[in-house]
Amino acid sequence: MGITVEGASKRFGDFQALNDVSIEVPNGSLTALLGPSGSGKSTLLRAIAGLEALDAGRVLIEDEDVSKKPAQKREVGFVFQHYAAFKHMTVFENVAFGLKIRKWDKAKISARVHELLQLVQLDGLAERYPSQLSGGQRQRMALARALAVEPQVLLLDEPFGALDAKVRKDLRTWLRRLHDEMHVTTIFVTHDQEEAMDVAGQLVVMNEGGVEQSGGAADLYDHPANEFVMSFVGEVNRLGNHFVRPHDMSVSLDSEEGSEEAMVQRVVALGFEVRVEFVLGDGTEVWAQLTRGELQRLELREGQIVYLRPGQTKSFSGTEISAAA
């Protein structure tokens, strides 16, 4: 197993950041830790890196218990949200840092650094300082710096969080490709479910210091273990005790069996996809995701009365909510 965490707990004052968390990350996989802020995902990542000491539990990297090892001896590559670039060093010196610490000789360092800069497409910028780079370039430099020492595992803490939407999308694709080439066991933390699904093969959904569910992206989307996962991974409407995805709402102009009367409140065109908001007879607000074609066929206008029929619905009873890893 690439990375194993067993029964990890961590408390900051009154705040229980991690509560008996166990996860398993297979060798060579790309796994996302997904959860809202305060869910403990970053603390878990930092604990794996040795940047945070656990109150209880163990961390194993390639089946070796590293719980007692300091960060400097764990052979992990860590990428921070705000880059953590060494500001007084050039791009070259930043990437060479770990190699200098390991006392490589100069020629070897130079060759390795240029190879990495090529990989992250910063080859011409070796003599620049971090302040002369854009956010995306800085993060690629940080990634090259982390990869330079050939870590056993690569850990990324919201690596694209500080970047704008376009750069973020490019870097996602790029990270996925990089992982396909390097096959280093990678965990990355994000609060963006779309990003997690786009990049990672495996997802671990966290909430309030615990793991709600883990599995493949499609698996979590189609078979969420509980209400939290259902509403966090993908959009959801709540109808009484039932949950339904907005694209599983069918809209009709005539009353059918099992349909409910609703009034159109707002129609928002988002390119190909159209978001239509309704209010039901009992005041519940729901929305449906339609295609442009459906909208044109139905000719929906604000204030119009239509009939909604939820397709696939899900309900979770208390006992079904599992916190298993």
Partner 1 sequence: MSGTATSRWGLRVLGLGYVLLLLLLPLGLIFYKTFEHGIAPPLDAITSPDGLNALKLTLLMVAIAVPLNTVFGIGCALLLVRHRSRGNPLIDAVINLPFAISPVVIGLSLFLLYGTTGWLEPALAEAGIKVLFSVPGMVLASIFVSLPFVVRETVPVLQEIGTEQEQAASTLGANAWQTFWRVTLPAIRWGVAYGVVLTTARVLGEFGAVSVVSGSISGQTQTLPLFVEKQYQNFNLPGAFGASVLLALLALSTLLAMNVLKRKEDA
Instruction: Give the residues lining the site for partner 1 (CB under 8 A).
Output: 49-51, 70-78, 80, 82, 84-88, 97-98, 101-102, 142, 145-146, 149
Q: What is the closest distance, in whole angstroms, from the C-beta atom of residue 168 to partner 1 in the complex?
A: 20
* DSSP assigned state of 57: E
Closer residue to partner 1, CB minimum distance, 156 or 217:
156
Beta carbon nearer to partner 1, 68 or 297: 68
E strand spans, 51-209: 56-61, 64-65, 76-79, 153-157, 185-190, 202-207
**Maximum C-alpha span of the chain:** 78
Q: Output the smallest distance, CB 206 to partner 1, in A.
A: 21
Contact 259, 218 (CB under 8 A): no
Q: Which is nearer to partner 1, 77 or 246 (CB)?
A: 77
Between CA 109 and CA 100 the distance in angstroms is 8
What is the gyration radius of the CA atoms in the chain, in angstroms? 24
Structure tokens given for 167: 């750069």
Complex with partner 1: residue 145 or 168, whichever CB lies closer: 145
Min dist. Cβ of residue 140 to partner 1 (A)? 15
CB-wise, 80 or 243, nearer to partner 1?
A: 80
Both tokens assigned to 175: 């990270």
From CA 273, how far away is CA 284, in angstroms rounded? 23
Smallest distance, Å, CB 115 to partner 1? 17
Return d(Cα 145, Cα 94) in angstroms, integer.
6
Min. distance of Cβ 73 from partner 1 in angstroms? 8
Identify whether the C-beta of residue 82 lies closer than 8 Å to the C-beta of residue 163: no
CB of 84 to partner 1, least distance (A): 4
